[in-house]
């Protein structure tokens, strides 16, 4: 099981709570929750690595997330406003590597919890 740490203000609104749950689902490899949370037209831009377009391609990418298991997830900040949200934090992996990340989200609507676009910045901490 992944050790989860988050700042106290990371769940002050329903959308912030959703983003926290979504990041925990990514860390735990909770495929069903992840797929229920993205639109058919999802675009995931992993800056400097690849751009994944469409739910089918997104789904085929999910097994690669399990290749190197997350052992600890630290969520420093979660922000949301209208149709946008952001999360930054740190991940420790089973292989001993650590990564800092920032993810920016666009939702299908201001009230909804369906992600239509994600932009991820991931930097290895040495």
Mean of pLDDT values over 45-56: 96
Q: Which CATH number is 3-125 given?
A: 3.10.450.50
The predicted structure's pLDDT at residue 42: 98
CA–CA–CA angle 46, 47, 50 (5° rounding): 55
CA-only gyration radius of the chain, Å: 14
DSSP state of 99: E
Q: Which of 4-13, 24-33, 98-107 has the highest mean pLDDT?
A: 98-107
Mean of pLDDT values over 26-34: 92
pLDDT digits (tens, 9 = 90+) for 70-90: 999 999 999 999 999 999 999
Torsion sign over Cα 63, 65, 69, 70 = negative
Residue ranges per structural domain of the chain: 3-125
The predicted structure's pLDDT at residue 67: 67
């Amino acid at each position: 099981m992944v050790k989860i740490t988050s700042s106290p203000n990371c769940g002050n609104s329903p959308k912030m709570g959703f983003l926290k749950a979504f990041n925990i689902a990514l860390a735990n490899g909770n495929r069903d929750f992840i797929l229920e949370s993205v639109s058919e037209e999802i675009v995931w831009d992993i800056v400097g690595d690849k751009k994944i377009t469409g739910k089918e391609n997104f789904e085929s990418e999910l097994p690669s997330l399990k290749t190197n298991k997350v052992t600890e997830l630290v969520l420093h900040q979660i922000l949301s406003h209208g149709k946008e949200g952001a999360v930054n934090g740190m991940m420790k992996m089973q292989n001993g590597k650590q990564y800092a990340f920032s993810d920016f989200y666009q939702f299908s609507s201001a009230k909804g919890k369906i992600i239509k676009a994600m932009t991820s910045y991931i930097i290895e901490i040495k």
